[in-house]
Amino acid sequence: MDKQIDLNCDMGESFGRYTIGADADMMAYITSANIACGGHAGDPEVMEQTVRLAKQHGVAIGAHPGFFDLAGFGRRMIDCSAAEVYRLVVYQVGALAAFCKVNQARMQHVKPHGALYNLAGQNRQIADAIARAVHDIDPSLILYGLAGSELLQAGEDQGLQVASEVFADRTYQPDGRLTPRKHPNAIIEQAEAAVQQVEQMVNHGVVEAVDGTQIKIRADTICLHGDGVNAVAFAKKLRRKLEDAEINVG
């Protein structure tokens, strides 16, 4: 197997009395977990539980900071300066780092969430603030970002290792951006179609946009979502398909 791909999933997004996602079941099929840090979701109890769960399954741990927006699940744009974003990332990543330390677990990466992720993909000042925050906390951390985005370039300019992220169940615009969730064709509902999209990205380095355009794309890590009705079944199927295609998942 000469090709390798990481499967990451957003996790630890439960809080209080609300349970979101099938974290325990998803752990068997992924290789990296992006753990919410109390901004868009998560709380101290859930953060620690998820760190322990990832460690137990040998899944790499990452911080998943987002805007402080529980009601909107971090998907609403909040007007913040680059300095405010820097502090937001330091605050949330630092919180998860503390839970990693007390549980003798290593943090591997940082992946922004939702609206913050999308903003950093296009706004270089915000991307620089996030990359600098990650570097100042720990320059060995890997920065996950949308393939071809400003965030990845900012990370590289900071001297960070970066991972180019693609999405199994999201459609793409001709400019390489994800189709906004409010659009009716933003989500790929059929598992077979999502698997085919992943195979094209991993094996051929291209993805078909909603208008039929073939876009070149680099795939280091694939984002799976653990909160869908068929999330676990899809993760299992995708991992099996990748391994059958002699692609090393890890």
pTM, full prediction: 0.94
Look up tokens 């680099």; give the residue: 218
E-assigned strand segments in 37-85: 60-64
Query: How far is Cα 247 from Cα 67, in angstroms, rounded to an integer?
Result: 35
The b/e string for 173-195 (b: 16+ C-beta within 10 A; e otherwise) is: beebebbeeeeeeeebeebeebb
Pick the CATH number of 3-249 from 3.20.20.370, 3.40.50.150, 3.40.50.720, 3.40.50.1980: 3.20.20.370
Q: What is the DSSP letter of 73?
A: T
**Per-residue pLDDT at 241 exceeds 80:** yes
| % of the chain beyond a pLDDT of 70 | 99
Average pLDDT for residues 27-51, to the nearest whole number? 97
Place 2 in a pLDDT band, splitting at 50, 70 and 90: low
Query: How far is Cα 23 from Cα 226, in angstroms, rounded to an integer?
Result: 7
Alpha helices in 59-108 (DSSP H): 82-102
CB 26 within 8 A of CB 224: yes
Amino acid letter, 17: R
| pLDDT, position 248 | 84
Average pLDDT for residues 228-234, to the nearest whole number? 84
| Each residue's pLDDT tens digit, 170-204 | 999 999 999 998 898 899 988 888 888 998 999 89
Beta-carbon neighbour count of residue 211 at 10 Å?
Answer: 8
Q: What is the DSSP letter of 179?
A: P
**Per-residue pLDDT at 1 exceeds 50:** no
Expressed in percent and rounded to 5, the helix, strand and coil fractions of the chain are 40, 20, 40
**Per-residue pLDDT at 225 exceeds 50:** yes
